[in-house]
A and B are shown apart, each in its own frame.
Chain A
Amino acid sequence: MAKYIVSSSPHITSKTTTQKIMLDVIIALIPATIASFLIYGLYPIFIMILSVGCAVTAEWLFNLVTKRQQSVRDLSAIVTGMILALNLPPVVPFYVPMVGSFFAIIIVKMLFGGIGRNFANPAITARIFLVLCWAGVMTRFVNPIDLSNGMNLFSYFENVVNINLPDAITSATPLAGVKEAIEAGGNPAAGLSALDMFLGRIGGSAGEVSTLAILIGALYLLIKRVIDWKIPVIYIGSVVVFTAIFFANSEYVGEYVWTYLLGGGLMFGAFFMATDYATSPKAPLAVCIYGIGLGFLTVIFRKFGSMSEGVSFAILLMNIVTPLLEKITPRIFGMKSKWETNGKKIGEWFKKVFSKKQKSEEKEAQNG
């Protein structure tokens, strides 16, 4: 007789580990990192090294102090540090990524129980923390480096500690232009070229400017099945739809749609931050609500908010709603759907009430 191994479920195991997934995300972030290097020189790389170093140190120190098992090896701190660095303006004082990384790892991640238990994406929360702390630094963007104009790759290192950037190198982001257009009523795409925005030759956060680089990284993640296509596609699609709705009475609807698509952190947020496992829902209906909510909030913040960008706030708010969305569970295989059972219950209740009424009427008739 053949030998059978008797064991309890689960019977199918996968070789996927947290470490492997995080490694895939790191690989997917490399194109955006290279793009930030090509556009803004070496300074963003310096910021990224600081950010990643501080994130890893913070996690290591926290585990050491609280006597927990070291969790640095799962590489998630590196991912958080990289995403945070790519979310910052290319030229920020050196202490900004350090404070941001410590906040992201210790307050948002480790205090809530470490990886998988954070209530919101650590990098996005740290970015919002920094925006609220140093609004001036976090909303001042620089021009791409122009090598023919006497600048070199180290040009921006003069501003390591300077919080007040000279006006000569600052630039407005495309979305700031759109914001002005909303208020003044002009053409939002005036002076912008779609190709420049697609390649990243504009002002903006270090990692979010080059849509091309982000799409290459995202494609890698989709092929490796690290992320699901649903959240980014629904998010970006609903941004398009809601922009068309909110600007329907403007004569530049088309311009608004493509500047909102290519400008700001929409692509980066949709592929790398909204899809965080711990803070995004799983059931199909919940994913739809999550994506549409993200798109709706992003357009609302961009059009009516005091800041020109709204992706980070939208993601944070929907992250907080995620536990409620998780209550929408898919139908368990072999069970009747909730609608069916609930419908049956309501039907029975009606029957009961109706039969009671009938009985009492009959009684009254008998008595009468």
Chain B
Amino acid sequence: MKGQFLSNKLGIVKNGILTSNPTFRLVLGMCPTLAVTTSAFNGLGMGLAATVVLICSNALVSLLRKVIPDKVRIPAYVLIIATFVTLLEMLLKKFIPTLYSALGIYLPLIVVNCIILARAEAFASMNKVGDSILDGLGMGLGFTLALVVMGFIREFLGAGTIFAGSLGDIEFGITQDAFPNYKLPDYSLSIFVLPAGGFLTLGILMAIVNYISDKNKEKKDKEHEAKLHRALEVAQAVENANTQKEEE
């Protein structure tokens, strides 16, 4: 019983990260996904900020789910989310000003982020507080994962750096300083830090995720079919045995 409880709770978190990943499977919150992921560090910051807001708003919406009248639920959700975003904005401005300036307008825009509103509407308003917090955690981590992967690819291909600004600006390979008299060619594919590269990366990643999930589904279907087939065979065998007995 306890094991089932635990796996149930884990399932909620796993659902957010993998099975219905907000970016690749639900295709929610595309605006920050495309705009902020020019570097992995920005993606990480944006993802974590959204996760914090998501957990807090899911908890509060879930607590108030019986109090909020149905007709004014959307304004109520927006009010709750806006409160947490304002708090977060002030905290970031005070303690991590670099991230605050890097995220710019997209930080206050978390208020209208589809993922947060969608989880409040679809999950938190119908489930208990504990489950809602776990759902917020899973969805937030899924969003963060997607943003970091996208940011990593775009930054690596477009600017030639890995987590720039977070690992003390380590440069790999040959650097310009080694050749003072010769200007090294710039091989970076700068389209990837432009908006067009964001769409390109997102499209290709989404295609890969769809391919993998289709493959998994096919596998499961085949297993299911094989099971059914076996059960049918067994039933047939039993029936044959029965008829033989009757004949005897």
Contacts and interface: CB of A to CB of B under 8 A. Distances in A.
B76 interface: no
Nearest to A163: B185
Contact of A132 (B185, B187, B191): B191
A163 B191 contact: no
A95 interface: yes
A93 interface: yes
Contact of A99 (B189, B197, B207): B189
Interface residues of B, number: 14
Contacts of B207: 111
A266 to B, nearest CB: 24
Interface in B177-201: 183, 185-191, 194, 196-197, 200
A93 B189 contact: no
A163 B186 CA distance: 8
Nearest to B184: A163
Given A129-B191, A133-B189, A133-B190, A164 B183 contact: yes
B187 A95 contact: yes
Given A99-B189, A111-B207, A132 B194 contact: yes
Interface string A111-124: 10000000000000
A19 interface: no
Contacts, number: 26
B77 to A, nearest CB: 37
Interface string A61-82: 0000000000000000000000
Interface in A11-42: none
A140 to B, nearest CB: 13
Given A99-B189, A111-B207, A132 B183 contact: no
A107 B187 CA distance: 20
B186 A132 contact: no
A161 B191 contact: no
Nearest to B197: A132
Contacts of A95: 187
Given A132-B190, A132-B191, A161 B196 contact: no
A311 B154 CA distance: 28
Interface in A129-172: 129, 132-135, 161-164
Nearest to B196: A132
A180 to B, nearest CB: 25
Nearest to B186: A163
Nearest to B189: A133
A134 B157 CA distance: 13
Contacts of B194: 132
Contacts of A107: 200, 204
B191 A133 contact: yes
A95 B191 CA distance: 16
Q: Which of A93, A133, A134, A162 has the most CB of B within 10 A?
A: A133
A161 B185 contact: yes
Given A111-B207, A132-B196, A93 B185 contact: yes
A164 B183 CA distance: 8
Centre residue among B183, B186, B188, B197 by max chain A CB count within 10 A: B186
A128 to B, nearest CB: 9
Among B191, B196, B207, which residue has the most Cβ atoms of chain A within 10 A? B191
Contacts of B190: 132-135
The 5 closest A-B pairs by CB, nearest first: A163-B185, A132-B191, A133-B189, A133-B191, A133-B190
Interface of B: 183, 185-191, 194, 196-197, 200, 204, 207
Given A99-B189, A163-B185, A164-B185, 19 more contacts: A95-B187, A107-B200, A107-B204, A111-B204, A129-B191, A132-B191, A132-B194, A132-B196, A133-B188, A133-B189, A133-B190, A133-B191, A134-B186, A134-B190, A135-B190, A161-B185, A162-B185, A163-B186, A164-B183
